[in-house]
């Protein structure tokens, strides 16, 4: 990691919020770490060297340049656990639910990504949008074309981002131009893994689109790739829509439900991330827990496509816990912002008579997402030794948010919970003052307060 970095050691001062435990399973006040006036010290490689209250750390950083962000709140960079970069331009496609939406909008759009130059253009835009929204790591669907994966990883590498992506595997029920074959998908994926997996901060995900667009043979070969490469990921969709679930049942009459289709192919593993999981049975929830697989909860997408309401409390139960992260699911999702995603996660919970606190939502967007991607040892909090990807949030980024949150820095966790809740309900890309990748400024909002400059 951090190859080519020439950053000098430096420090950042401000109010910091991260998590030391899972607030779904621990009391919130024991899970949240809030340092009202803290310092984060980042070494020349972009690794966190020290973190703590200013009064404790200041004597040790007298020689370092300090960037100070008063009136802001610094969090670990957001982690988006499910997103399709080729769908960036087709966000907000009207009027259909999942299967018709795929045929009418998605497939025609993804065909454009056979052209690598076009893919490069969209990748640049896409990564700009992620950073502008404070997202520093994502689990990304590319298109079916290997060149679309190369375009993505080349640019992510250039920006030194920790990104996970993969080529779509899809050998049926899609236009011919978008289909590979079981064998070609295996060969192409294998070559891409060898080229990109663990190159710097990059990681590869074996990426069958979903069970309906893969033959059993393609799914079997995907499982074989997981065997051959014991630390690549598996990224696919699961139980998003009732018509989809019924279709899978008809396509795989011998299986015991949707998840079982993947399970028989060896795809339900500790390295597997399944997007959606809205219509899972209790037995499927238990199986995902047992396998230590992860679910990506994508509320703006689930509402936009009318897919349904994810049972977050069941996934996060103490008895059968499942790793869960938040996903924007662009282009079925309607915003790149993880704050807006948290807004709609709250609404999904409310419709189910559940509560989703800001701390739980922000956990999902940071350490929870990191753990869902098995990156909890490297990302998602300000632990010493982790990589210094972080986002500087402005809880007063609009006049309305300034009125709602008042001028003061929260003094208690209760005040912080309230302010961060307003931030997640009202915040969007404007609430992101700056985004740092391995300690380097990767995005800064034009209007970031001048008093936040280097001191």
Chain positions contacting its own copies, by CB under 8 A: 88-92, 94-95, 97, 125, 128-129, 303-306, 308-309, 334-336, 343-344, 346-347, 349-353, 355, 357-358, 398-400, 403-404, 417-418, 421-422, 425-426, 428-429
- The answer to whether 368 and 25 have CB atoms below 8 angstroms apart is no
Q: What are phi and psi of 161, to 5 degrees?
A: -90, 145
State the nearest-atom distance from the C-beta of 7 to its own copies, in Å: 28
Question: Please, what is the minimum distance in Å from the beta carbon of residue 450 to its own copies?
Answer: 17
Residue 454 burial by Cβ neighbours in a 10 Å radius (0-12, 13-18, 19+): exposed
Rounded to a whole number of angstroms, the minimum distance from the CB of residue 303 to its own copies is 4
- Minimum distance between the CB of residue 425 and its own copies, rounded to whole angstroms? 4
**Minimum CB–partner distance for residue 338 and its own copies (Å):** 15
Tokens of 160: 């030194």
Beta strands 294-297; 233-238: pairing state: unpaired
What dihedral angle (degrees, nearest 10) is formed by the CA atoms of 383, 77, 302, 235?
Answer: -70
In the complex with its own copies, the residue whose CB is nearer, 125 or 183, is: 125
Q: Looking at beta carbons only, is 299 or 325 nearer to its own copies?
A: 299
Q: What angle do CA 220, 222, 227 make, to 5 degrees?
A: 95
Tell me the closest approach of the beta carbon of residue 141 to its own copies, in angstroms.
18
Q: Decide whether 198 or 355 has the Cβ nearer to its own copies.
A: 355
Closer CB to its own copies, residue 332 or residue 379? 332
Min dist CB 223 to its own copies, Å, is 34
Residue 95 or 230: the one with the smaller Cβ distance to its own copies is: 95
Compute the least distance from the CB of residue 422 to its own copies, in Å: 4
Cβ neighbours of residue 191 closer than 8 Å, sequence gap 6 or more = 146
CA distance 108 to 114: 11
Spatial CA neighbour of 130 closest among 330, 266, 380? 330
- By beta-carbon proximity to its own copies, the closer residue of 272 and 307 is 307
Please give the Cα distance from 384 to 51 (Å, whole number). Answer: 7
The 10 Å Cβ neighbour count of residue 128 is 14
Q: Of the two residues 61 and 424, which places its CB atom closer to its own copies in the complex?
A: 424
Closest CA to 338 of 393, 408, 283, 269: 393
Residues 235/205, Cβ–Cβ less than 8 Å: yes
Contact 39, 10 (CB under 8 A): no
DSSP 120-140: HHHHHHHHHHHHHTTEEEEEE
Nearer to its own copies, 69 or 126 (CB): 126
- Nearest residue (CB) to its own copies, 341 versus 357: 357
**Least distance to its own copies, CB of residue 122, Å:** 8
Q: How far is the CB of 252 from its own copies (least distance, A)?
A: 25
Q: How far is the CB of 347 from its own copies (least distance, A)?
A: 4
Q: Which of 334, 397, 324 shows the shortest CA–CA distance to 367?
A: 324
Q: With contact defined as beta carbons under 8 Å apart, do 413 and 28 qualify?
A: yes
d(CA 89, CA 304): 16
Residue closer to its own copies (CB basis): 58 or 242: 242
What is the rounded CA–CA span in Å between residue 263 and residue 348? 28
Q: Which is nearer to its own copies, 293 or 335 (CB)?
A: 335
Spatial separation of the C-alpha atoms in residues 12 and 377, rounded to whole Å: 21
Distances (CA, A) of 440 to 10, 131, 418: 10, 12, 30
What contacts 126, CB < 8 A, 6 or more positions away?
Answer: 85, 88
Q: What one-character DSSP code corresponds to residue 224? A: H
């Amino acid at each position: 990691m951090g190859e080519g970095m020439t950053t000098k050691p430096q420090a950042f001062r401000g109010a910091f919020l991260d998590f030391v435990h899972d607030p779904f399973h621990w009391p919130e006040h024991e899970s949240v770490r809030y340092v009202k006036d803290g310092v984060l010290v980042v070494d020349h490689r972009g690794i966190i060297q020290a973190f703590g209250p200013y009064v404790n750390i200041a004597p040790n950083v007298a020689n370092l340049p300090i960037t100070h962000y008063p009136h802001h709140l610094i969090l670990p960079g957001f982690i988006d656990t499910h997103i399709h970069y080729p769908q960036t331009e087709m966000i907000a496609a009207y009027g259909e639910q999942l299967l018709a939406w795929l045929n009418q909008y998605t497939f025609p759009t993804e065909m454009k990504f056979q052209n690598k130059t076009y893919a490069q253009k969209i990748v640049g835009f896409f990564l700009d949008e992620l950073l502008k929204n404070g997202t520093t790591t994502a689990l990304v669907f590319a298109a079916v074309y290997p060149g679309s994966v190369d375009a993505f990883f080349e640019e992510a590498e250039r920006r030194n981002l920790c990104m996970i992506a993969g080529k779509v595997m899809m050998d049926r029920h899609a236009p011919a131009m978008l289909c590979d074959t079981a064998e070609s998908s295996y060969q192409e994926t294998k070559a891409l893994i060898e080229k990109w997996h663990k190159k710097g901060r990059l990681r590869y995900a074996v990426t069958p689109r979903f069970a309906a667009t893969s033959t059993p043979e393609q799914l079997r070969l995907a499982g074989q790739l997981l065997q051959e490469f014991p630390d690549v990921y598996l990224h696919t969709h699961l139980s998003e829509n009732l018509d989809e679930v019924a279709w899978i049942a008809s396509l795989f009459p011998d299986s015991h439900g949707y998840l079982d289709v993947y399970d028989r192919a060896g795809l339900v593993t500790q390295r597997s991330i399944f997007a959606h999981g809205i219509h899972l049975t209790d037995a499927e929830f238990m199986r995902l827990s047992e396998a230590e697989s992860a679910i990506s909860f994508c509320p703006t997408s689930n509402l936009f496509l009318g897919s349904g309401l994810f049972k977050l409390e069941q996934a996060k139960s103490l008895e059968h816990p499942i790793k869960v992260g938040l996903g924007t699911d662009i282009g079925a999702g309607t915003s790149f912002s993880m704050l807006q995603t948290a807004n709609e996660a709250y609404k999904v919970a409310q419709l189910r008579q559940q509560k989703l606190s800001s701390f739980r939502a922000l956990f999902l967007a940071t350490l929870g997402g990191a753990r869902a991607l098995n990156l909890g040892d490297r990302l998602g909090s300000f632990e010493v030794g982790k990589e210094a990807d972080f986002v500087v949030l402005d809880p007063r980024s609009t006049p309305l948010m300034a009125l709602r949150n008042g001028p003061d820095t929260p003094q208690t966790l209760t005040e912080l919970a309230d302010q961060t809740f307003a931030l997640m309900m009202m915040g969007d890309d404007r609430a992101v003052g700056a985004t740092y990748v391995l300690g380097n400024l990767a995005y800064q909002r034009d209007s970031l307060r001048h008093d936040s400059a280097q001191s």
